[in-house]
Amino acid sequence: MLETILAISGKPGLFRLVSRGNRALIVETLDAQKKRTPAFETDKIISLADIAMYTDEEEVPLRQVLKSIFTKEEGKKAGLDPKKASKDELHAYMGEVLPNYDRDRVYPADIKKLLQWYNILVENGLTDFDEALQETQGENVDDRK
């Protein structure tokens, strides 16, 4: 599911990949308008499945962090408003969700964006964060030949 959800630098919100054009991707906003627009190769586009959060030991895939927030919030929108929260509140919240996150490399702006994305996904019913975890865990190295 997160493979087709995209973040585009310079554009607010999240987008769903609809199709691939000749020199652009056709994306649709995840808001109520469902506006379709092209995203060109000059845009910085990243799939949520390719994002990870820094921890003290390793990088944790975004889907695991989203799953932790989903569990903490019991499937509802985040209780902390990312736009109004202070730096200390954001760090405390992140500490509850991912206790060993790297406090030097994960900035308050990153936590705000994470919470905004989480709220957008929950509002649109896109909460199957375990989907790819099951796929990668069930994959056998010998099967890839």
* Distance, CA of 4 to CA of 46 (rounded, Å): 10
Per-residue pLDDT for 144 more than 50? no
Residues 6+ apart with CB under 8 A from 106: 53, 54, 94
Residue 67, domain member (yes or no):
yes
User: Which residue segment(s) compose the domain that 68 sits in?
Assistant: 51-130
CA end-to-end span of the chain: 25
Number of independent structural domains in the chain: 2
Output the pLDDT for position 15.
96
65 pLDDT exceeds 60?
yes
pLDDT at 143 over 80: no
Same structural domain, 34 and 84: no
Distance between CA atoms of residues 32 and 100, nearest Å: 36
Higher pLDDT, 140 or 131: 131
Tell me, yes or no, whether 61 and 82 share the same domain. yes
pLDDT of residue 129: 82
* Residue 142 confidence (pLDDT): 40
* Distances from the Cα of 81 to the Cα of 84, 107, 127, 137, angstroms: 6, 16, 19, 34
CATH of the domain at 30: 2.30.30.730
* pLDDT surpasses 50 at 57: yes
> Are 56 and 42 in the same domain?
no
At residue 107's C-alpha, the angle toward residues 106 and 112, to 5°, is 105
Check which CATH number belongs to the domain holding 120 and give it.
1.10.10.1650
Give the per-residue pLDDT at 131.
Answer: 60
Residues 72-111 have pLDDT tens digits of 999 999 999 999 999 999 999 999 999 999 999 999 999 9
Say whether both 38 and 87 belong to one domain: no
* Average pLDDT over the chain, rounded to an integer: 87
Q: Is residue 143 domain-resident?
A: no
Q: Are residues 39 and 89 in the same domain?
A: no
Residues 40 and 79 in one domain: no
CB contact set of 90 (below 8 Å; sequence gap of 6+): 80, 82, 108, 111, 112
pLDDT at 67: 95
pLDDT of residue 145: 36
